[in-house]
């Protein structure tokens, strides 16, 4: 009998590879935060900073933030009503407490879902993960702001925060 080595080897490689991918998606039980997929949200919420992953805040946070874009952390981020409504719907559908966001809800441990904060950088889990970073590092030219996730997490645009 002739053993078909090549197909078997190929199959093994494919298996291994998908195992690696799966591992990465679940790494450490929660480093993947699905990035914003909607082009409108990327355009309107991704020009001044990274388009933050909706699963990093609960619905109550997004709803409150979207209700006052004119006073958005000192900036005027306002847009027309139709766009505002569409973006609010998207953020809420993918929020930490939307049901489908396992990682988001871990990241939000100890946070009130009904009265969430406006800042990801104020979540207790975020604060504890970043305790080791010195004030000088936050102020450095490369970083400049806590909201500049990409300065340290080069893959943040793709949803990964594990480096």
Helices and strands, counts by H and E, the chain: 7, 0
Using CB under 6 A, count the residues that bind ligand HEC: 34
User: What is the spatial distance between Cα 120 and Cα 25, in angstroms, rounded to a whole number?
Assistant: 21
Which one of other proteins, ligand HEC, none interacts with residue 137, CB within 5 to 8 A by kind? ligand HEC
Does 23 sit near ligand HEC (CB under 6 A)? no
Phi, psi of 106 (to 5 degrees): -70, -40
Considering only 32, 35, 52, 60, the residue that binds ligand HEC (CB under 6 A) is 52
Q: Which residues contact 117 (CB under 8 A, 6 or more apart)?
A: 57, 61, 111, 123
Beta strands per DSSP E along the chain: none
- Indicate the SS3 state at residue 32: strand
Nearer to other proteins, 34 or 157 (CB): 157
Contacting ligand HEC (CB under 6 A), which of 32, 35, 38, 45? 45
Contacts of 69 by beta carbon, 8 Å cutoff, 6+ apart = 76, 77, 78, 79, 84
Residue 111 C-beta: closest distance to other proteins, Å:
22
Stretch that binds ligand HEC, among 7-15, 18-26, 94-102, 138-146 (CB under 6 A): 138-146
Residues that bind ligand HEC (CB under 6 A): 28, 31, 44-45, 47-49, 52, 65, 69, 72-73, 75, 77, 87, 119-121, 129-130, 133, 137, 143, 145-149, 151-153, 161-163
């Amino acid at each position: 009998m002739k053993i078909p080595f090549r197909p078997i080897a190929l199959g093994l490689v494919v298996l291994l590879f998908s195992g690696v991918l799966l591992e990465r998606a679940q790494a450490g039980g929660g480093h993947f935060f699905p990035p914003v997929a909607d082009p409108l949200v990327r355009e309107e919420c991704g020009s001044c900073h990274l388009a933050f992953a909706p699963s990093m805040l609960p619905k109550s946070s997004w709803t409150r933030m979207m209700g006052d874009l004119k006073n958005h952390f000192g900036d005027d981020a306002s847009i027309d009503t139709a766009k505002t409504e569409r973006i609010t719907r998207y953020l809420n559908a993918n929020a930490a407490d939307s049901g489908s966001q396992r990682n988001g809800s871990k990241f939000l441990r100890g946070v009130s879902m009904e009265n969430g904060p406006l800042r990801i950088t104020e979540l207790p889990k975020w604060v504890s993960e970043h305790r080791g970073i010195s004030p000088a590092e936050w102020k450095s030219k490369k970083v400049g702001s806590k909201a500049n996730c990409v300065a340290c997490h080069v893959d943040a645009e793709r949803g990964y925060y594990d480096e």
